[in-house]
Structure formats: structure tokens, C-alpha cells
Amino acid sequence: MDTRERLIQSTCELLRERGYVGTSPKAIQQRARAGQGSMYHHFTGKPDLALAAITRSAEDMRDRAEAEFTGPGTAVERLTAYLRRERDALKGCPVGRLTQDPDVMADPVLRRPVEETFRRLTERMAGLLEQGRAEGELGAELDPASTATALGAVLQGGYVLARAADSAEVHTRAVDGALGLLAGHRTTPSRKEDR
């Protein structure tokens, strides 16, 4: 890993652990094993490096989700794979935690990748739910946009509850509960599928 990558990775980790204010240039340099000159050779300062790190975390999160969204199975099976994907619930979501950082949320440039990530994930989930409705897997009464928003809230809220209880099992139960509610909208297979 080159110096620029080490700086970005170290900043990702520190932002998740300490937040924006607690992530000092010195701490970044120490963790990345890079000097001040190297840091300022690649980035104009802490805000520029923080933006690169936040963008990286956001892209990684979207890429991992997209792997499940485009994987094998029906629309609901792909959505289930995304919701049940292994996560480190006690560390929290690397992007979701940034929403609790007032300095990140107050800066429109730093906030943009966070906002964009959750918007895109919600849209992708809504698209899968819409596909499930169109293919007869889910009932017509299901509202894809509202349901996708609720599923995103369950994932993010599950992190909060898991951290509060110091138990990753709480996050798993939150996801299981959401999937149980979604199961209430499943339809019976059509005659076409029985053939």
C-alpha cells in the first residue's frame, strides 16, 4: 500500500473511532507511518484528506451492497442477502457513524458522500422491492420507497441498539424482525412459477 492509500485508510479508521475533531493530522500521520511532508504532498490539508476518506468509505459501502443487489436469486432473496450480510455491528456502520458527527454534517462537502450513499442504497432497495412487486413476489400494497427507507433505518438503528447493548445479536434480531415484516407482503407463487 502506497503512502496515499495508507493516509486514506488511516483517516477512515480514525474518523470511525474518533470523529472529525478527534482525528488530528498528527494522529493520521502516526497511524499511516507517514511524515507531514508526505501528507501535504498528497492532500491540501485535513479537510481534503477527510473528504477522500469519507468518499472511500462511502464507495466501499455501496460496492459491497451492489454485490448483493446484483447477485443470484429473486429480488427479495437479493435484498435479504444484503440485509443479512456479515457486519461488525459493535463497531457501527463506517458511513452511518459520520451522521452523528456534527462537524461532518455541518460541512456540505464532507456531508455529500454520506448523503449520496444513503440515498443510493435506499433507491436500490426500493428498486428491488418494486421488481419483487412487478414479478409477483410481493403484494401490490407494498410501498417500495417507504419500505426501503424503513429497511435502511432498521440497519442503522440496529447498529445503535447493538452498541448500546454491547451485543451484535441485537442487530441480527433487528434485521430478522424487518424481514419478518417484509414476509407479510410475500405472495404465493403464481401458476407460471409452478410449471
Distance between CA atoms of residues 96 and 113, nearest Å? 11
At residue 23, the pLDDT reads 94
CB 71 within 8 A of CB 85: no
Low-confidence ranges of the chain (pLDDT < 50): 190-195
**Is pTM beyond 0.75 here?**
yes
Please state the φ and ψ torsions of residue 138, each to the nearest 5 degrees.
Answer: -125, 150
At residue 188, the pLDDT reads 59
CB-based contacts of 99: which residues, under 8 Å, 6+ apart? 105, 114
Give the domains, in start order, of the chain with CATH numbers.
58-194 (1.10.357.10)
Please state the φ and ψ torsions of residue 67, each to the nearest 5 degrees.
Answer: -60, -40
The whole-chain average pLDDT of the chain stands at 93
Three-state SS for 112? Answer: helix
At residue 58, the pLDDT reads 96
